[in-house]
Structure 1
Amino acid sequence: MFTSVNPATGKPAASYPKLTDAEVGQCVARASATYADWRLSPHTERSDLLRRIADRFEAETDRLAALATAEMGKTLKSARAEVAKCVAGFRYYAQAGPGMLAPVRLKAAGGVAEARWHPIGPVLAVMPWNFPYWQVVRFLAPTIMAGNVGLLKHASLTQGCALAIEEMVREAGAPEGVFQNLAIRAGGVAALIADDRVAAVTLTGSEEAGATVAEQAGRALKKVVLELGGSDPFIVMPSADLDAAAKAAVTARIQNAGQSCICGKRMIVHGQVYDAFAERFVAGMRAVKVGDPVDEANDMGPLSSVEQRDAVLEQLERFKAAGATLVGGERLPGEGAYMTAGVLTDVPIESEVAKEELFGPVAMLFRAADADEAIHIANDVPFGLGSSVWTNDEAERERFARDIEAGMVAVNQVLASTPEAPFGGVKRSGHGRELGAQGLHEFMNLKTVMLPGASGEVGD
């Protein structure tokens, strides 16, 4: 059984049965059988299904949001926004997906070549708890549009959300087997990856989980997409609007109680404006109102579990032992996984802790002498997922966009995923891309078809 614990109260909320090995086998067989037909479905049928799923999510926004808040503690306001993003994601692929699948004609010796996109089969998704709907939709919408079918292994904390997604898809009229939730523990993933009927795997999670899944997929010679950890830099230069930058930095750091791979974690500020920015930023973090996530007067709810909260607090002790100074970042008394927002200063740049990801509502604050040093600090970690740069100097913008080692750079804004743009990282933040046309094509076979033709001319 899986037991859902409300992190705001620390009390059990609901229990969900775990699938037996035989039941998992039946799900895989069903996915394989469904794929044989779904791969041949017209693009219009796939688009129509995505629109109906979007409609179901939209109609159930309040229920879905309340469930996410109860299972992992995000504020009800942010949970509603997450559901709305899912609706947008389904509708984006419903509209743009058919065009992304159109064949491309090329000149070729003796005739014409066509590059055509074809599905590859059942895709296994191993997903985390921090965005329990959107993380799944990022894989599911392009999977359906591609003509593949999906198998989900969701986090133990959010089994209610996983079942709700399956319910939305079923109620939208999807053929049985197009999407199935597999209520299993992490130990069951290896057998699924090794199963010849499973074509590919996508994972969002920790470095350790990514390395394990990549190794398993490599042994099976299967395509894998990994979206792993991040310690995103948030760079502020003298030409920036400091009020806007400081306000955005607070928003970036406390969204989802700091439990987001792409929220700004390391604030790197030019020496000329360091003191002015630090004053604004620390004041903003001190003012963050923490409490019941259902109460919309609160800025931040609990972390996802007491265990996650305590792991962050233990990590902060190691920062202090290395010489850093902590303002805030304290455990709140009483029930639930609550802590205050915090800021770490004087973090030794060469220390081991400075290279780690802080998955909680505490920021590291660094001083940089110039753009060169800001880029050095930004890149001096094993991660390369996202980044945010604040400058009104066009040359600086281009320099940061070119030289920051990351899959994504946001200029004068908080980085956020969007259905239209590819999402992913480099270095130990993973490889491959979700979203956009690139996310649709990741798990497809780009097939070259050589066609005869006397003229060799390329058609429209």
Structure 2
Amino acid sequence: MSSVSPATHAISINPGNGEQLAAYPYESAEALDAALSRAASGFASWKHLPLSQRVERLVVLAQVLRRQAEPMARMASQEMGKPIVQARGEIEKCAQLCEWYAEQGPAMLAAEPAPVPNGQARIEYRPLGPILAVMPWNFPYWQVLRGAVPTLLAGNTYVLKHAPNIMGCAYLLGNAMQEAGFPAGTFEVLNVTPEGVSQAIADPRIAAVTLTGSVRAGMAIGAQAGAALKKCVLELGGSDPFIVLDDADLDAAVQAAVIGRYQNTGQVCAAAKRLIVEQGVVEEFTRRFVEATRQLVIGDALHDDTYIGPMARFDLRDELDQQVQATLAEGATLLLGGSKAEGVGNFYQPTVLGDVTDQMTSFREELFGPVASIITARDAEHALALANDSEFGLTATLYSADVERAERLGAQLETGGVFINGYSASDPRVTFGGVKKSGFGRELSHFGVREFCNAQTVWLDRN
């Protein structure tokens, strides 16, 4: 394990074998001050750059990401255990994000006419300034760029504080931005302690804050941003329901549930964590789901055939196992897996828990790893009640042959996104974010471009 202190260094550890990859000393207060100065100076020029030139940088960034895809994917596999095929897919998704915003984004920033009698009022979207982004490890590139790309396009600058266990990925991303021609100060990578984050939030050069992370982190960052009177966007945890009604296509539902639960080794906020199945099909769905899960290949993240890699951090695997054991002690049935994998590495067996009720740990808490919980619903109305009985509200999935009925039911789900006959995903064409303890604010689509803009009214000759 590590030979340096996590109090003084961001430590990168390969979860596949427990070996230390690198240790990056946290930056001093002087280095933080210099980075914020560069971001502020960069904003002063970047915001005045013609929009067409900002678009050009996104087009080039897409090209750079594709050129650097293999080393960037390998770094993600080594630092947080992402299976290499999924890591490559994440980078390609980032490249497509850049191209989509390059094509669609300018229209989202165009002035909007307002319906006033003289026809001389409009809404202009002006950038706010340097945006501090505190990002997680589970999607080292996508999580950053899905916020950074529209934020930069709008004319803001972006200050990234990435998770300490994936600083290698953070620096590769910073290099890619530099290679793509983004000017100095437009994309800054910070390696600071939580105290450094607090200092940055309080600093007048930071205009707003965005965080993707845990509820606890969201409460802390939200409180600090509020104390500084700065806007913040919080994308927090989720315990997303995956509802299967009696009339669903079970083959399609099972396939989507397996992907929705186990992609990225189950370490996804918007994942199918609670499988809520109507009693008429729960036995058959469970049989097929367990069998499909049993076929998933667990192994070295750098092997192309691996679907389940090691979990990113050893402490999180221990926490997940405690949640599983607590759920079993509460009366759930172990259908598959249920323990840490033997041998070297931070592996957890793909796990399925049956007979889960709304009072059990795996129903009430978020399980961030390769564990699925199957809950039986008496009918569709009971399924909705179970789905909404959660402190989280990120996304929900509903499978039914009757799409019109599914839409009526979906309208009653208390989540930021509803996916009918398809597992949840983040996509630049649609907005992403949650309600309740899953956070507030939105990313992607036109919301992501305007989230950190001053919607400024311009009214000529009002009298």
Residue by residue over 1:9-55, the C-alpha shift from the partner in whole angstroms, topping out at 9 and shown as x without a partner, is 11111222321110000000111111111111111011001111111
Partner of 1:194: 202
Deviation of the 1:409 alpha carbon: 0.9
The within-5 A match list for 1:227-266 is: 227-266=235-274
Partner of 1:123: 131
Find the partner of 1:364 among 333, 356, 373.
373
1:336 aligns with 2:345: yes
Question: Contact 2:323–2:361 (CA<8 Å) still a contact in 1?
Answer: no
Partner of 1:391: 400
Give me the identity figure in percent. 43
Deviation of the 1:243 alpha carbon: 1.3
Q: Which runs of 5+ in 2 are unaligned?
A: 1-8
The within-5 A match list for 1:14-53 is: 14-53=22-61
Partner of 1:410: 419
Question: Contact 1:111–1:453 (CA<8 Å) still a contact in 2?
Answer: no
Secondary structure of the residue aligned to 1:296 is coil
Give the paired residue count: 454
Question: Contact 1:111–1:452 (CA<8 Å) still a contact in 2?
Answer: no
Question: Contact 1:230–1:429 (CA<8 Å) still a contact in 2?
Answer: yes
Separation of aligned partners in 2, 1:275 and 1:209:
39
Letter of the 1:72 partner, please give it.
M
TM-score calculated relative to the size of structure 2: 0.96
Separation of aligned partners in 1, 2:55 and 2:240:
35
C-alpha change, 1:453 and 1:227, in structure 2 (3 Å) is: closer
Separation of aligned partners in 2, 1:207 and 1:2:
22
Separation of aligned partners in 2, 1:63 and 1:351:
42
Partner of 2:446: 437
Secondary structure of the residue aligned to 1:7 is coil
1:113 aligns with 2:121: yes
Question: Contact 1:54–1:91 (CA<8 Å) still a contact in 2?
Answer: yes
Partner of 1:96: 104
1:219 aligns with 2:207: no
Deviation of the 1:3 alpha carbon: 2.1
Separation of aligned partners in 1, 2:10 and 2:200:
20
Secondary structure of the residue aligned to 2:359 is coil
Separation of aligned partners in 1, 2:123 and 2:375:
48
Find the partner of 1:69 among 77, 86, 90.
77
Bigger drift between 79-88 and 292-301 goes to 292-301
Deviation of the 1:247 alpha carbon: 1.7
1:380 aligns with 2:389: yes
Tell me how large the CA RMSD over aligned residues is: 1.3
Question: Contact 1:368–1:374 (CA<8 Å) still a contact in 2?
Answer: yes
1:272 aligns with 2:280: yes
Bigger drift between 423-432 and 296-305 goes to 296-305
Letter of the 1:390 partner, please give it.
Y
